[in-house]
Amino acid sequence: MDSLLDIQKRLLPDLLNVMQKRYHILHYINLMQPVGRRSLAMSLGMTERVLRSEVEFLKDQNLISITGVGMSLTADGKNLLEKLESIMRGVIGIDKLEKQLQQQLKIRKVVIVSGDSDQSPWVKTELGRACANCMKKLLEDKNIIAVTGGTTMATVADMLTPDFGEKEILFVPARGGIGEDVNNQANTICAKMAENTGTKHRVLYVPDQVSKEMYISIMKDPLINEVLGLIKSANMVLHGIGDAITMAERRKTSEQDFQLIKQRKAVGEAFGYYFNEAGEVVHKVSTIGLQLADLSKVDNVIAVAGGASKAKAIRAYMKRAPSSTILITDEGAAKQLVQGFAH
């Protein structure tokens, strides 16, 4: 198959470009159906005129149906898309990119989805779906899954399905998070994950950032200690990777610490740790919950982050990530990461 694709790339590059374009159209319709033509054109970065002719072709092939509410895939369309997905990964070169990044980052596995979530919001949905598929393969009979907050983790929660409930699962927040937008707090995300899978969750109602005095006081609470015990015994951790400045602003960081983060040239953030491009910790938020050192004891650590703008943050964090890490990212970030290694 690889040799045939290589021959086609040399002899029929236009054919592969057309195939790729039509694959992206089918892929997006499948994600967002029913979807209108204008919305589809904007999401794919095409003019409505170009899209119109492609849509007519796909309709004539009985791959999509068009109604008053928008376009949807037919049964034939879904069947073809499933067969196309593995082929297109080879055409686009995603398989090779995954192996290359896995070796360069020195981690367990890299999973790349098509597109760039900076350019197309629907790519974040694909990141969530890829994370859900990865989780399914790693589930044991009994599972404690620790989850951080953030918009990407909220998307992962949306992609979880009732069949996860076939296993025993307890979702726990990886750390405190009161103070952030409630929808992006780890407690809220754990509740959503449990609801979507028909499983259980626990909450950790403590602030994201605490003083030493408050930390000592909080640690005396037996309920909080119980939840912390569950968090520390998690066999799976799901987390995002943040841009340092964006995360500092979202956390309403004090002006003094904010300037410190900027002066020390932090580019990435995870678990309350801020990293510079060399992967050095330049600032740490005092948080209750999982710490960076705890990750080395966890069997399965899944980091989910995408978008070309996140490449520096991802690279910085990966220099400190445990080798058991599985990175789920998109083409936008992956290509930037590879270019960074080339320089």
* Same domain, residue pair 168 and 306: yes
Residues paired with 242 in a beta bridge: 269
Residues paired with 67 in a beta bridge: 70
| Nearest residue to 85 via CA among 43, 34, 26, 33 | 26
User: How many angstroms separate the CA atoms of 216 and 78, rounded?
Assistant: 56
Cα angle 146, 148, 154; round to 5: 110
User: How many angstroms separate the CA atoms of 221 and 215, rounded?
Assistant: 10
pLDDT in tens, 111-147: 999 888 988 777 888 899 999 999 999 999 999 999 9
Decide the pairing of beta strands 300-304 and 236-240: parallel
pLDDT value of residue 269? 93
Say which residues have a Cβ less than 8 Å from residue 125's Cβ, sequence separation at least 6.
Answer: 31, 155, 158, 159
| Residue 11 pLDDT exceeds 70 | yes
User: How many angstroms separate the CA atoms of 289 and 291, rounded?
Assistant: 6
3-class SS of residue 39: helix
- Whole-angstrom CA distances from 235 to 238, 245, 273, 328, 342 are 10, 30, 21, 18, 35
The mean pLDDT value for 224-249 works out to 91
pLDDT in tens, 68-103: 888 999 999 999 988 888 788 777 788 889 999 999
* Same domain, residue pair 144 and 181: yes
pLDDT value of residue 219? 74
Given 91, 108, 124, the domain boundary residue is: 91
Q: How many separate domains does the chain show?
A: 2
Is the pLDDT higher at 313 or at 205? 313
Hey, what are 241's tokens?
Answer: 């990777």
Q: 326 — phi, psi (to 5°)?
A: -110, 120
| Residue 5 pLDDT exceeds 80 | no
Bond into 34 cis (ω within 30)? yes
Q: Which helix (H) or strand (E) holds 144?
A: strand 142-147
pLDDT value of residue 343? 56
pLDDT in tens, 18-64: 888 888 889 888 888 888 888 888 877 788 888 888 999 999 999 99
User: Across the chain, what does the average pLDDT equal?
Assistant: 87
Given 91, 106, 122, the domain boundary residue is: 91
* Same domain, residue pair 77 and 108: no
3-class SS of residue 300: strand
* Same domain, residue pair 99 and 220: yes
The CATH number of residue 115's host domain is 3.40.50.1360
* Same domain, residue pair 23 and 155: no
pTM above 0.75, yes or no: yes
| Nearest residue to 306 via CA among 336, 266, 278 | 336
Angle separating helix axes 2-11 and 75-92, nearest 10 degrees: 80
* Same domain, residue pair 119 and 245: yes
pLDDT value of residue 24? 84
* Same domain, residue pair 120 and 41: no
* Same domain, residue pair 51 and 137: no
* Same domain, residue pair 87 and 197: no
* Same domain, residue pair 180 and 287: yes
Residues paired with 274 in a beta bridge: 269, 283
User: How many angstroms separate the CA atoms of 56 and 201, rounded?
Assistant: 47
Structural domain that includes position 204: 94-342
* Same domain, residue pair 86 and 99: no
| Residue 3 pLDDT exceeds 70 | no
The CATH number of residue 77's host domain is 1.10.10.10
Under 8 Å between Cβ of 177 and 186: yes
Q: How many residues does the chain have?
A: 343
pLDDT value of residue 268? 94
Hey, what are 166's tokens?
Answer: 């076939």
* Same domain, residue pair 60 and 98: no
Given 91, 107, 137, the domain boundary residue is: 91
